[in-house]
Amino acid sequence: MRNDITRRDALALGLSAAALAAGTPANAQSAIKAADVPAPKLAIEKGATLRMLRPVRFVQADEDVFRANATKFTKETGVEVKVDFVGWEDINQQTAVTANSGAGPDIIIGFSDAPHIYIDKLIELTDVADYVGKKYGGWLPLAQRYGKKNKSDAWIGLPFGATAGPLIYRKSILQSVGFDKVPEDHAGILDLSQKLHKAGKPAGFALGNAKGDGNGFANWALWSHNASLLDEEGNVIINSKETIAALNWVKQIYPTFIAGTPSWNDVSNNRAYSSQEISLTANGVSLYFSLKNDPATKAIADDSEHQLLPKGLAKVSPMAGLTLNAMVFKHSPYPNAAKAFLQYMLEKDQYEPWLNANSGYWSQPLAAYAEAAVWKGDPKVSIFKDTMNSTYYDGYKGPISTATGAVSADYVLIQMCASVATSAATPEAAAAEAEQRCKRYFRRQK
């Protein structure tokens, strides 16, 4: 039996790989095209030093290459950069303290909606965003959604990448019950899930208070039925006939899941899949790599396939990515140095080795980086390449705000699905309760 720490260790490519990635001239075999665009003139302040926070690495090489790039920046510009890595659960609180106190790091890389929450405390990054956008094939849709101020072309964050949670399934088990892959329609998914349950290798999707996987399943259940939390104007429309249809479907499919999913957290599905208790779930690339890198479980990895979340009634796969989003605070005495640093890190010579070192865990926000070597190696990883092409995001399809993040953090949508699945509430009652809670969060956003 394995735990999360072990998987992280298994994922780590090691210092040597990182050093190789950082030290190899990016232009040597790069297929990435860069347009000839003049860089913005950023007069770096005399004596500038920078301090930044970013979420802790999931892959060791992420940190190693990131630090190596920062050191290169210092050598080239003379600007000292101190990078601190903090836990994923802590980054929001530290950003809040920084924003409220007006002191602390000059730059924070937070998650998806963070710049929208602290918008008044941030400097615009439009000049840098426009420059790297034009140079590297344009920003992908999810990057634009999270990077730009709502209904504006002003950039308040610079997305560095996103990670997604598509389906992962056991090819041989699906074939044994008559399927080559997971169907795209709800009836087909239900049929498959019933057959997997009968075969003793059921599906399992988190319905517990799991920030990543639980919200991923709840959002997918809603979006694939064309339901959403908000309309384009930001009105809460969760209590809709589409939501009721989604909840009725969740109620139907839940009995086919392995027992215990309402108590699952973010590592539960990893463990159940690794121990061959389940044959279908949704997860990031980390699960596949942990299986692949361990000789004891390599056979499971060989028998596993990834697939985008089924469309259902949606036109494209309704899958949002968790995005790294960089912010520069107004209280920084060195705003130009901060912008120059972020620009430097997104340039090909730095970004490409970093992207490759992440082995597919983070996918690029700029179109040109789709040609990076990381996407041409293991075909089972290439599905993660288009994560930031998604048009779905937390709070879809309304404007991003503090409240959209709060609804996700408070597990409102997961609990709505779980209460119906476990017959603790009717679909109508669950949707009404979720609506009440969401309206509470959104009461100041209008």
Partner 1 sequence: MSVTTLSSQALAQRQPSWLVRLFDYKPFLIVMCLAPAIGLLAVFLTYPLGLGIWLAFTDTTIGRRGVFVGFENFQYLLTDPLWWNAVFYSVVYTGIATFGKFALGFWLALLLNNHFPFKSILRAIILLPWIVPTVLSALAFWWIYDPQFSIISYLLVDVLHWRSTNVDFLGSAWPARFSLIAANIWRGIPFVAISLLAGLQTISPSLYEAAMLDGASAWQRFRYITFPMMMPILAIVMTFSIIFTFTDFQLVYAITRGGPVNSTHLLATLAFQRGIAGGELGEGAAIAVSMIPFLIFATLFSYFGLARRKWQQGESND
- Which residues contribute to the site for partner 1 (CB under 8 A)? 1, 92-93, 96, 99-100, 117-118, 207-209, 258-265, 268, 271-272, 275, 277, 402, 405-406, 409-411, 415, 418-419, 422, 424, 433, 436-437, 440-441, 444
Least spacing, CB of residue 248 vs partner 1, in Å: 17
Residue 121 CB, shortest distance to partner 1, in Å, is: 8
Q: And the tokens for 146? A: 């999270």
Instruction: State whether the Cα torsion 44-49-53-58 is positive or negative.
Output: positive
For partner 1, the closer of residues 150 and 402 by Cβ is 402
Q: Residue 140 or 206: which CB sits closer to partner 1?
A: 206
Distance, in Å, from the CA atom of 383 to the CA atom of 205, rounded to the nearest integer, reads 20
User: How far, in Å, CA of 187 to CA of 369, rounded?
Assistant: 37
Closest contact distance (angstroms) between CB of 331 and partner 1 is: 14
Distance CA 223, CA 193 (A): 19
Task: Considering the complex, state which of residue 139 and residue 254 has its C-beta at the smaller distance from partner 1.
Answer: 254
| Closer to partner 1 by Cβ: residue 146 or 264 | 264
Q: Residue 250 in contact with residue 419, Cβ under 8 Å?
A: no
In this complex, which beta carbon is closest to partner 1, that of residue 381 or of residue 414? 414
Minimal distance, residue 207 CB to partner 1, in Å = 7
| Cα gap 129→112, rounded to integer Å | 16
Strands (DSSP E) found in 357-415: none
* Closer residue to partner 1 in complex, CB, 92/226: 92
CB of 93 to partner 1, least distance (A): 7
Q: What are 172's two structure tokens?
A: 């041989």
Residue with tokens 């003379």: 78
- Secondary element (H or E) of residue 100: helix 91-101
Q: Is there a contact between 207 and 217 (Cβ–Cβ < 8 Å)?
A: yes
Sheet containing 304-307: give its strands across: 280-282, 167-170, 304-307
CA 341 to the chain's CA centroid? 23
Helix 412-421 / helix 241-253 crossing angle, nearest 10 deg: 50
Least Å distance, CB 239 to partner 1, is 15
Nearer to partner 1, 268 or 332 (CB): 268
User: CA-CA distances (angstroms) from residue 248 to 239, 244, 256, 264, 416?
Assistant: 13, 6, 14, 21, 11
* Closer residue to partner 1 (CB): 99 or 140: 99
We find the least distance from the C-beta atom of residue 365 to partner 1, in angstroms, to be: 24
> CB 433 → partner 1: shortest distance, Å?
7
